[in-house]
Every structure is written in C-alpha cells, then in structure tokens.
C-alpha cells in the first residue's frame, strides 16, 4: 500500500508542479547499492545517458560552471504558442531547437523542471549474490530541478529519488535519494566562487564486502558532501583552489531482535585541492593537480581495536580538451596514498587513472566514457581497505529525432589490500528510448551483470529487463 501511495502522489505532483527534469537519467536498470565513501567512481549503469539541465550527471557532482537557460524574450500572454501558463510572470522556457526537450516553467527568475519515471521489469538475481532468486520489480523515480536564469551568478536545487520494490520478496526494497544545492558567484571576468552541498541516502547491499555479518536488514548510509571552489584565470593560466568536507553516517543493523552497532564507521573526510592549468589553445589545457586529505573517525578505534583514521595525498597530471561539438572531456594519471594511524596495517597506494570523454564523431552518434580510481575503507581487521578502478562506455545512436538506441559496457576491479583477494564486476546492456512528445517518453532496456571473485561463494550472474514511462512537464 505504501508503494501505491507513493506512486500516486508522485504522478499527481508532476501534474501540478510547473517544471521539468532532463531526459534519460533515471530511466535505467538499477544495480546493487555501493556504499563506498572512497573517491567517486563513474556510474556503471548502462542506461544512464542523460544529465540534468544544470550540467550535472547522474552522480550529482559539483560543477564550477552551471549552464544557464537562455533569457526568454517578452511574450504576449494571449499567445498559446509561446507556452504561457498564466500572466506575464509565469512562462514556459521551451527550447525551440529541440521539439522533445523539457518544457520547464519559469517563475520569476527561476525555471522549474519536475519529472517522474515509473517502471516495471524482472531480474533473475534481485540481491546480486551467489544463488540469489529472481523477482518481478516495480520502480518509481521522482525528480525536481529548480534553476536560476540570471545575467550574473547562478543557483540550482535538485532532488532525485528512487524506490525499487521486489514483488516476490527475493530482496528487500531498495530506496535511494539525493538532494543538492549549488551556487556560483561571478566575481570578475573568469573568476568565480562555486559552492555545493549534497545529501545522499542509500542502503548497504548484501553483496558489499563490508556488509555487517549476521544482519537481517539493509542498514542505511547518509552522506553529506560540502565543498567550496575558487576558480580563476590570468592570461592563459587557470587556477582552482578547493576545500571539501564529507560526512558519512552508518545506521545500525538488525540481526533478529539484536542490534548491530555501526557507529564506529561514522567519519569525516576533509580535503584541500589545488589545480593549475595552462591553455595551449582553446581546445587543449594541460594541468597538474595536488590534494591533501584526512579521514577522521568519531571513535578512536573500531570494534576490532583498529585505529582507522588516516592521512593521505594525491597528485596527478592530465589534459582537458574541448572542441565542441566533436569532443569534450579530460584524462589524468597520477598516484594516491593513504596511511592509517594503526601501524599494524599497510598503507593504501595506487596508480590512478581518472577522466571522462564525450565524443560525437557524427551528428547522430555519441560515445561517452568514464574512468575513476579510489580507495574504499574496510571493516576487516586484516585490511586497511581496497583499491577500486571503475570504467564505463556508452554508445548512443539517434536513429530518429525521437528514437535513440544505447549500447553500454562497464567494468569494476577491486583489490583488497592485505587479503590478497580481487573481485571483477562486469555489465553489458542495451536500451531504446522513444520520445513521444515533450511530456512523455518510453524506455526499454536489458542488462546482464556478472561478478568473478577469488572468495568462494561470492561470484554471481544477473539478467534484468525493464520498461519505463517518464512523465515530465
């Protein structure tokens, strides 16, 4: 009954709220929740090909530049073609160049974009574990973006939620949510301050190596990510100075009537970052970047008596490139090290490769790739954590203006330091999106996932199909 009530409320909300979210992003097949608080890895979801109008992708990361919707000229309030709602102060912000773009509604100097996606499908392995059972699935994903339209400065607020329900009870419901507030202050030509505060909620997956032993539920994880960046340029020299504080809070788990305390995992991650770049040409900007970080746990030691607070650094060098509309992105190679306070555990060290690229060899084809490297803290007394490499590639082909096909592959490698164990997780998928009009889209997709592991009883395979209906205003 709760799921039906949530579905009905979300559909009514979209019908009433004057706004629209961007296409494509939530219309995906959901995978297992990754509760890692390491450096952000790229989304390996093979069907997440879109982004919100503010320029942020599915991960909702901070962007120093927030793309603004172009100022709308004055319109006659009696002209229905202009998309007027009521009066001169509430007007549609329709993009005339794309007949299927969200038709958000302007209220004063802000533009609202709401949407909701409802989906149904079937998965052969709901829990994504060895021997997991299959189940039909229902999914609802409400969204809202509020974005400024100012001559200077910028601000945005966004909400993304998702609730996945397994009808046969093969796995527990999988809710998640993200709320983000972002702002940019333009100080002078090519100088600005960017602020971001992001709250995220997810649940620990039973396939997570750090899942509490004996737990009979999926405890929640709360993350609060606050950051400030100072961006500027002098001539061809570009600068970024940033500071960031990430708070991770782990809910207690249940084992029958017993409570499994996870408060020892609550921690802060503080970091300071400096980036220096030099614009060789409008298309190429080499850069170097350095970061210092410190992880501080609320408790001095975990349940095994291990002091897991740590300090570390990261350095990398790379190149950012942009030659619109052909390609845009950056790639960097470097090293990262994290040393724990407990001398009995080895330090985490890794060669890092990070980057993203959007390449459009033709007007109808776009290839999007993502690479990331990071550390994932461990709860195992014999391990300081794991080194994680993740990557994904998506090939999107616009067969017609209203029909797009996607083929996607992903891979994640995780090495557990101190244990001599490694896991590989792969994904292959295909999807098709049919844009019926500005307010409605249909999407169907298939995803095959499998994991190999040196730990007995961990490897699994999963196949999932899903059909989504997206309603937007």
Summarize pLDDT for 203-245 with one digit per residue, the tens: 999 888 899 988 989 999 999 999 999 999 999 999 999 999 9
Q: How large is the average pLDDT for residues 315-338?
A: 95
Q: Looking at residue 96, what is its pLDDT?
A: 63
Judged against a pLDDT cut of 70, whether residue 318 lies above it is answered with yes
Q: Looking at residue 303, what is its pLDDT?
A: 87
Share of the chain above pLDDT 90, in %: 71
Judged against a pLDDT cut of 90, whether residue 18 lies above it is answered with no
Between 458 and 30, the more confident residue is: 458
Q: How large is the average pLDDT for residues 412-423?
A: 94
Q: Looking at residue 235, what is its pLDDT?
A: 94
**What is the SS3 assignment for 378?**
coil
**DSSP calls for 15-49:** HHSS--PPSSTT-S---------SSPPPP--TT--
Tokens linked to 259 = 């409570």
Q: φ, ψ for residue 5 (rounded to 5)?
A: -65, -40
Per-residue confidence band for 447, with pLDDT thresholds at 50, 70 and 90: very high
Q: Looking at residue 207, what is its pLDDT?
A: 85
Judged against a pLDDT cut of 50, whether residue 256 lies above it is answered with yes
What tens digit of pLDDT does each residue of 123-165 get? 999 999 998 999 999 999 999 999 999 999 999 999 999 999 9
Between 438 and 48, the more confident residue is: 438
Residue 89: CB atoms within 10 A of its CB come to 11
Domains plus CATH for the chain? 2-65+97-472 (2.40.160)
Which of 271, 304, 251, 288 is CA-nearest to residue 38?
A: 271
Q: How large is the average pLDDT for residues 402-409?
A: 97
Q: Looking at residue 185, what is its pLDDT?
A: 98
Strand ranges (E), 124-257? 135-148, 154-166, 174-188, 191-203, 220-234, 237-250, 253-255
Q: How large is the average pLDDT for residues 66-84?
A: 36
* pTM for this model (two decimals): 0.80
DSSP code, position 454:
S
Judged against a pLDDT cut of 80, whether residue 65 lies above it is answered with no
């Amino acid at each position: 009954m709760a799921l039906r009530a949530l579905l009905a409320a979300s559909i009514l909300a979209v019908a009433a709220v004057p706004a629209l979210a961007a296409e494509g992003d939530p219309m995906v097949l959901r995978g297992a929740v990754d509760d890692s608080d390491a450096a952000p890895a790229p989304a390996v979801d093979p069907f997440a090909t879109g982004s919100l109008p503010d320029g942020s992708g599915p991960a909702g990361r901070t962007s120093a530049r927030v793309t603004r919707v172009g100022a709308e000229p004055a319109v006659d309030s009696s002209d229905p073609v202009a998309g007027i709602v009521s009066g001169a102060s509430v007007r549609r912000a329709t993009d005339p160049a794309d007949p299927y773009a969200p038709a958000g509604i302007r209220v004063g100097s802000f533009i609202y974009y709401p949407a909701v996606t409802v989906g149904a499908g079937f998965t052969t392995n709901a829990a994504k574990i060895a021997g997991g059972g299959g189940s039909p699935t229902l999914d609802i994903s409400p969204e809202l973006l509020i974005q400024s339209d100012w001559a200077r400065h910028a601000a945005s607020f966004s909400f993304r939620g998702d609730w996945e329900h397994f009808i046969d009870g093969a796995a527990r419901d999988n809710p998640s949510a993200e709320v983000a507030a972002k702002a940019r202050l333009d100080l002078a030509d090519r100088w600005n301050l960017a602020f971001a505060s992001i709250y995220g909620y997810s649940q620990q997956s039973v396939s997570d190596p750090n899942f509490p032993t004996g737990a009979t539920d999926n405890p929640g994880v709360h993350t609060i990510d606050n950051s400030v960046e100072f961006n500027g340029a002098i001539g061809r020299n570009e600068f970024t100075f940033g500071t960031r504080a990430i708070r991770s809070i782990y809910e207690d788990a249940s084992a029958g009537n017993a409570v499994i305390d996870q408060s020892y995992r609550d921690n802060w991650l503080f970091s300071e970052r400096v980036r220096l770049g030099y614009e060789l040409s409008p298309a190429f900007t080499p850069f170097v970047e350095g970061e210092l970080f410190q992880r501080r746990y609320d408790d001095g030691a975990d349940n095994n008596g291990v002091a897991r607070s740590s300090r570390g650094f990261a350095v990398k060098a790379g190149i950012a490139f942009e030659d619109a509309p052909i390609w845009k992105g950056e790639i960097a190679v470097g090293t990262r090290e994290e040393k724990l306070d407990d001398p009995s555990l080895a330090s985490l060290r890794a060669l890092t490769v990070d980057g993203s690229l959007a390449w459009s060899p033709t007007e109808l084809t776009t290839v999007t790739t993502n690479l990331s490297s990071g550390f994932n803290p461990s709860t195992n007394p014999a391990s300081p954590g794991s080194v994680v490499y993740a990557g994904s590639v998506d090939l999107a082909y616009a067969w017609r203006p209203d029909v797009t096909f996607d083929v996607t592959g992903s891979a994640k490698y995780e090495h557990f330091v101190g244990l001599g164990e490694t896991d590989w997780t792969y994904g292959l998928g295909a999807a098709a999106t049919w844009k019926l009009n500005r307010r409605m889209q249909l999407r169907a997709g298939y995803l095959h996932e499998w994991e190999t592991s040196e730990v007995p009883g961990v490897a699994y395979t999963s196949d999932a199909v899903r059909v989504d209906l997206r309603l937007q205003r």
